[in-house]
Structure 1
Amino acid sequence: MTAKDTSSITGYHAHVYYDAASKAAAEALRAAIEERFEVRLGRWHDRPVGPHPQWSYQIAFTPEVFAELVPWLALNRGGLTVFVHPETGEALPDHRDHAIWLGEKAELDFDALK
């Protein structure tokens, strides 16, 4: 196996998945993230958008924030699924091959990334 150079990672995105029944939990998680971390929070998408099969919002963050945020999400996601992927400039492999799932894995629409 040839190791990939992590310097190609310019940032990360985490996508918090929710539905009508879990939106309040997603709101509480978002407020806690905003209070604790240096991140950019994306819009609420109350419908599937792009490759994401569920409602979601995005959390964009730098590589330096990863070591604090992702373990915190693992312990504090409140039963929500969180999909985390690096940003290397290659959307398909970032979402398909280099993803981290916290909670239930969902099937992404990879055609939306081509």
Structure 2
Amino acid sequence: MSGWLLALLRWSSQARGFFARANPADLTDSDLVRCFYGDANFERKRRAEQLATEFGVPATAVALAYVLAQQFPTFALVGPRSIAEYRSTMTGLGIELNEEQTSWLDLRNGWNGV
């Protein structure tokens, strides 16, 4: 099997809108709540928003950049609800996250939550 490479097809890089609109007080989207609400994910969102501010882009762009920054082949499938969402997300193509930033977004360092 040497020479084989398995790529990750990331189905929900936008996490059903989590990085754009999730609010712990808003429980109206039961699928979003069931799949993504949790302390770790809200910390990831907070960190994505912080990096987004530094880069001058929306958090969805940072989420896309994170998926594409992995050390293995990835394909990010995005499903924006409008042309404006598509355009704002695609700004992530111009962001190159380094290993420290991807580790930080993935909570591999600097977070002791549950």
Q: Which TM-score band applies after superposition, normalised by the shorter structure?
A: 0.3 to 0.5
Q: Quick check: which one's helix share is greater?
A: 2
Q: TM-score, normalised on structure 1?
A: 0.34
TM-score by length of 2: 0.34
Higher Cα Rg, which structure? 2
Q: Return the structure number with greater strand share.
A: 1
